[in-house]
Structure 1
């Protein structure tokens, strides 16, 4: 279980996905009474952003660290400490450690600060840009959590930061996996260079939007809608440039591309909700990003960790079913069908949890997320793309 960070943190993410939603229905009285967060939905947003997403990001980034750090890894003791800090943050959010900020802030943010420090140390030693970016995102998540715990920032800006994480880190990873699967033609090289430019433009616009959301009211910031439209256009163009027949022939890669497609869809709907609030509520559009882009990206990446059979990555039918349920949950939640969406969501993450707990009984095979090391480029060196 402790041989790699993803083996303990991916099940933790699955558990957080189930508890963060079921708590809205099953723990209403307890959470409302004991949690230091201002209300049940504030607790839900906190747990999904910093519990669920934080666990998944830690599992991926610290496992992929081997590829860009020159062989650096997290020891079993480090993995256990990481999980313990994550669990302590969950207890702090539910009020088990008291309600005073002097206790809530350090216990709540310790997990993300530890993650940022570990990634930053490895990135400095290896002088790796990819590691530095991931450390920076972990630090920004910790800052957002600190602001959220103290009531200084809305969850809206935190969601945009997580969307930025999908765009930058997820985009580099998908580009690397896709490049591995293509025939490396001059035409493909030009397309990937153009996609990289679009990714940089989208990241800049999305980062500015996240900052503006933290400074002004969403309804009073018309520039935010324009920035979101720019992001949607850039990410849609990026996805189109990556696409090829080879993508459709690889089930795991197709899952990643479908997950990324939720990003421009969510940006477009979020922009529309700002200009036409009577037609589409902002929370529904926001859930297209969280349930769609973010959650589907987590599921698609984690599916690779349990897909290795006979030395090759081969998708499992049960993972495809779980992924389809997650996509269904995103569609249902965007259309305000809350109860069916919760049922689809719960079934999806129950499958996810079962798959990853089951995998603990098998020997760990490497590389975890990419294909055979002899002929594949790992996403940790995505900046070597043409």
Structure 2
């Protein structure tokens, strides 16, 4: 029996590695476009900024989502997720989407087709073990968010190819908010679990199903308002409600003892950044990096401050943010990359 190659033995291995490589490469390329040769991708919808936005929301983020969920769903259901050749096909589709995108209109069509095929394949790869385990009701929200992320990319592509900037923007905002919604799922399922593991049985934040349902409904409303309407007042009101309720939940979960556990502290910091994004209604600069590494907080701070700077200071501030991003993700790639390619120390698969 042929042994599955280590990099294809579980979803987190290829997709976390690809996401880290892409985080470094795409940011470096965007920095070159922005500061040295902005005309190089002038034909891409939205120019250099449009290429960067698409690669972050529909490139980097889906790779992280795939890596996490293809691993987590196996734990949640007790059923195997994609490994070996099916996992390689998924990774190949994602990679094709990244490489073909900048190659003119034809390249964008190929890239879009590969990306949409990747998202369809990801939904199927996640749905199979969920349905086999009889957990469709429990996991339907996660599957729906992943499917809607693919649909959002489809909207962006339709707007890009049809020269409809409003539709392109709606798809982009929709995709970003769905990534945040998926991050909040991770927060809800992971943070309390690891806090209890770290702090022991004395840790008991209690359960508030009404709060979970309220936050879900508000996030759905916020997604619709922010992505598909121009009702700024209503959007800001819902964002404020989300910030207040999430802040209350954060406070009920947090204990000073978590600060002694660095990875757990980073998760709490990442959750706090999301809450700050709702409060400021400045979601894009405060997106997911802080959930990956506390180092990226520095970059996020610069990115938040950048729009407030005088135009003359903008290039230097953006270059600083890009450099901090590259240092942070370069460090993560150097530290985690080799681990993702090595077998488990106990010899077990996965």
Q: Shorter chain as normaliser: what TM range?
A: 0.7 to 0.9
Q: Do structure 1's residue 216 and structure 2's residue 233 form an aligned pair?
A: no
Match of 2:117 among 110, 125, 144: 110
| 1:353 maps to 2:333 | yes
Write the distance in 1 (CA, Å) between the matches of 2:108 and 2:330: 34
Whole-Å Cα distance in 2 between the matches of residues 67 and 366 of structure 1? 18
Residue 201 of structure 1: how far off its partner (Å): 1.9
CA–CA distance in structure 2, aligned partners of residues 100 and 351 of structure 1: 31
**TM-score w.r.t. length of structure 2:** 0.83
Q: Is 1:228–1:267's contact at 8 Å kept on the other side of the alignment? A: yes
Matched, 1:243 2:273: no
| CA offsets 1:150-176 (integer angstroms, 9 cap, x no match) | 112422232222211112233222122
Q: In the alignment, is residue 296 of structure 1 matched against residue 290 of structure 2?
A: yes
Does residue 18 of structure 2 align to residue 48 of structure 1?
no
Instruction: Report what 2:149 is aligned to.
Output: 141
Aligned counterparts of 1:255 and 1:329: Cα–Cα separation in 2: 15
Gap runs ≥5 in structure 1: 271-284, 300-322, 369-386
Q: Which string of whole-angstrom CA distances, capped at 9 and with x for unpartnered residues, describes residues 129-163 of structure 1?
A: 55433322210110010011111242223222221
Post-superposition CA distance 1:80-105 (Å, at most 9, x none): 1111010111123223781574x454
Counterpart of 1:329 in structure 2 is 299
Q: Deviations over 1:98-132 (max 9, x none)?
A: 1574x454223111111111111221111225543
Match of 1:192 in 2: 206
Q: What SS class does the counterpart of residue 22 from structure 2 fall into?
A: helix
The two structures have a TM-score, normalised by structure 1, of 0.76
Gapped regions of structure 2 (runs ≥ 5): 1-6, 160-166, 307-316
Shift of 1:65: 2.1
> How many matched pairs?
318
Per the TM alignment, residue 358 of structure 1 is displaced from its structure 2 partner at its CA by 1.5
How far does residue 59 in structure 1 lie from its aligned partner after superposition?
Answer: 0.5
1:202 matched to 2:215? The reply is yes
- CA separation in 2, counterparts of 1:366 and 1:173? 24
What's the Cα RMSD here? 2.3
**Where does 1:374-385 land on structure 2 (aligned, <5 Å)?**
none
Partner of 1:23: 29
- Which consecutive aligned stretches of 4+ in structure 1 deviate over 4 angstroms post-superposition? 365-368
CA–CA separation in structure 2 for the residues paired with 1:192 and 1:289 = 28
Q: Could you tell me whether the CA contact under 8 Å between 1:198 and 1:235 is conserved in 2?
A: no
Q: 1:365 to 1:122 in 2, by over 3 A?
A: farther
Q: Assess, with a 3 A threshold, how the Cα gap between structure 1 residues 105 and 341 changes in structure 2: closer, same or farther.
A: closer
Greater Cα offset, 60-69 or 149-158: 149-158
Closer, same or farther: CA 246–100 of 1 in aligned 2, 3 Å? closer
Q: What residue is the counterpart of 2:175 in the other structure?
A: 158
